[in-house]
Amino acid sequence: MVLQELGDKLTGALRRLQTTTVVNDDVLNDLLQDVCRALVESDVNIKVVATLRKGIKEKVNLADAPAGLNRRKMVQRAVMEELVRLVDSGTKPYQMKKGKSNVIMFVGLQGSGKTTTIAKYANYYQRKGWKTCMVCADTFRAGAFDQLKQNATKLRVPFYGSYTEADPVRIAEEGVQQFRSEGYEVIIVDTSGRHKQEEALFEEMKEIQAAVRPDNVVYVMDATQGQAVFDQAQGFHQAATVGSVIVTKLDGHAKGGGALSAVAATGAPIIFLGSGEHFDDLDVFNPGSFISRLLGLGDMRGFLEEVSSLGAREGGKERQEAMAQRLVKGQFTLRDMYEQFENVMKLGPLSKVMGMLPGFPSFLMGGGEGGRGGQDEAATGRLKRFLTMMDSMTDAELDGKVDLNKSESRVNRIARGSGAHPMEVQFLLKTYAQFSQMFKKMGPMMLKGGEGGIQR
Nearer to ligand GDP, 276 or 450 (CB): 276
**What's the closest the beta carbon of residue 225 comes to ligand GDP, in angstroms?**
13
Instruction: Report helix angle 25-41 to 46-59, nearest 10.
Output: 150
Residues in the chain: 456
Nearer to ligand GDP, 141 or 416 (CB): 141
Nearer to ligand GDP, 274 or 355 (CB): 274
- Contacts of residue 369, Cβ cutoff 8 Å, sequence gap at least 6: none
Nearer to ligand GDP, 76 or 232 (CB): 232
Largest CA distance in the chain: 76
Please say whether the dihedral angle defined by the alpha carbons of residues 33, 35, 40 and 42, taken in this order, is positive or negative: positive
Nearest CA-CA partner of 300 in 257, 247, 340, 246: 340
Are the CB atoms for 119 and 151 separated by under 8 Å? Answer: yes
What is the rounded CA–CA span in Å between residue 292 and residue 432?
A: 24
**What's the closest the beta carbon of residue 276 comes to ligand GDP, in angstroms?**
5
**What's the closest the beta carbon of residue 216 comes to ligand GDP, in angstroms?**
18
Nearer to ligand GDP, 113 or 161 (CB): 113
**What's the closest the beta carbon of residue 157 comes to ligand GDP, in angstroms?**
16
What is the rounded CA–CA span in Å between residue 206 and residue 210?
A: 6
Nearer to ligand GDP, 190 or 299 (CB): 190
**What's the closest the beta carbon of residue 154 comes to ligand GDP, in angstroms?**
14
Element (H, E) at 190: strand 186-191
What is the rounded CA–CA span in Å between residue 194 and residue 138?
A: 10
Please say whether the dihedral angle defined by the alpha carbons of residues 328, 329, 332 and 335, taken in this order, is positive or negative: negative
Task: Note the residues at the interface with ligand GDP (CB under 6 A).
Answer: 108, 110-116, 193, 248-249, 251, 274-277, 281
**What's the closest the beta carbon of residue 277 comes to ligand GDP, in angstroms?**
4
